Amino acid sequence: MSFGSRFDAARRAYGPLCVGIDPHARLLGEWGLPDSIEGLERFAATCVEAFAGQVGFVKPQSAFFERFGAAGVAVLERTLQDFRHTGTLTVLDVKRGDIDSTAAAYAEAYLDEDAPMAADAVTVSPFLGFGSLRPFFDVAADNDAGVFVLALTSNKEGPQYQHARTESGETVAGSVLSQLRSMNTGASPIGSFGAVVGATIGSSIEPLDINGPLLVPGFGAQGGTVVDLRRLFGSVFDQVLASSSRGILAAGPDAATLRAEAVRTNAELVGS
């Protein structure tokens, strides 16, 4: 099955929530865990226990694992493997972007199904040009994986580049969305190449229907509400993957409580 098909099936089965797995120092402390590799291991194992087979999507943030060096990367690798074949899809938040052989190496590291750190999808940056992402798309297509391209992020610095106009007169963000739309043309039930669109951007002059998944960070503790999502995405809400990290993880460290909060949030999203 293509990533788009698996995305659609997981969303229908569990709901549109994507739980961000962000083991930053403050959260480890709130869970009563040390800011150490031992604390990271316990945190990751709890997230697997709480969410594997219980939510459709999780989004590990690579940076919070990488800060512990090789040992932290090993925990990330094990976490990705633990989620495989559980019904929960992994979106590895790495925001990679490079050219030629380097981009291909990143793509193989994260999207080749036989790679140790294989994820179901990754996030990438188009700053070096949309064409530079071709290796990610190619490896993803060969392995039924997905790619989420930064388009309209909610950080205050984003509009300086994303709202800039190209020679054709369209915005950079609009160009990214347009090219993703073209790549997903004809895909059913939905394409495998998605965009990252922040929940707190307020509004968009760009059409957001790309016939592909829309990864929407900023939902929950960062201020985005269900009302915001319904207003911003309207008729394409069925393409939305609403990502919440702190809003869910604050319920920890008990795995059952974390699971219950995720189920409650999914119900809120579906029933809105």
Share of the chain above pLDDT 90, in %: 89
pLDDT at 203: 83
pTM score of the predicted model? 0.96
Residue 156 designated active-site:
no
pLDDT at 202: 82
Q: Measure the CA–CA gap between 192 and 172, rounded to whole angstroms.
A: 21
Instruction: Provide the b/e sequence for 229-254 (b: ≥16 CB within 10 Å).
Output: beebbeeebebbbbbbbebbbebbbe
pLDDT reading at 125 higher than 90: yes
CB-CB contact of 241 with 11 (8 Å): yes
pLDDT reading at 214 higher than 60: yes
Q: What value does the mean pLDDT of the chain take?
A: 95
pLDDT reading at 272 higher than 60: no
Q: Measure the CA–CA gap between 29 and 25, rounded to whole angstroms.
A: 6
Q: Measure the CA–CA gap between 163 and 59, rounded to whole angstroms.
A: 26
Q: Who's near 25: CB < 8 A, 6+ residues apart?
A: 35
pLDDT reading at 261 higher than 80: yes
Q: What average pLDDT score do residues 151-180 get?
A: 93
pLDDT at 221: 67
Three-state SS letters, 193-229: EEEEECCCCCCCCCCCCCCCCEEECCECCCCECHHHH
**222-238 tens-digit pLDDT:** 778 898 899 999 999 99
pLDDT at 13: 96
Nearest CA among 116, 17, 89, 23 for reference residue 62: 23
pLDDT reading at 253 higher than 90: yes
Q: Of the residues 6, 59, 95, 259, which is catalytic?
A: 95
As a CATH number, domain 3-271 is 3.20.20.70
**85-122 tens-digit pLDDT:** 999 999 999 999 999 999 999 999 999 999 999 999 99
Q: Give the pLDDT band of residue 156 (cuts 50, 70, 90).
A: confident
pLDDT at 204: 84
- Residue reference for tokens 């994260």: 110
pLDDT at 223: 72
Q: What are the structural domain ranges in the chain?
A: 3-271
Vertex 147, ends 141 and 148: CA angle to 5°?
A: 160
Q: What are phi and psi of 156, to 5 degrees?
A: -65, -20
CB-CB contact of 33 with 253 (8 Å): yes
pLDDT at 154: 87
Q: What average pLDDT score do residues 41-52 get?
A: 98
Q: In DSSP terms, which residues pair with 249 in a beta bridge?
A: none
pLDDT reading at 207 higher than 70: yes
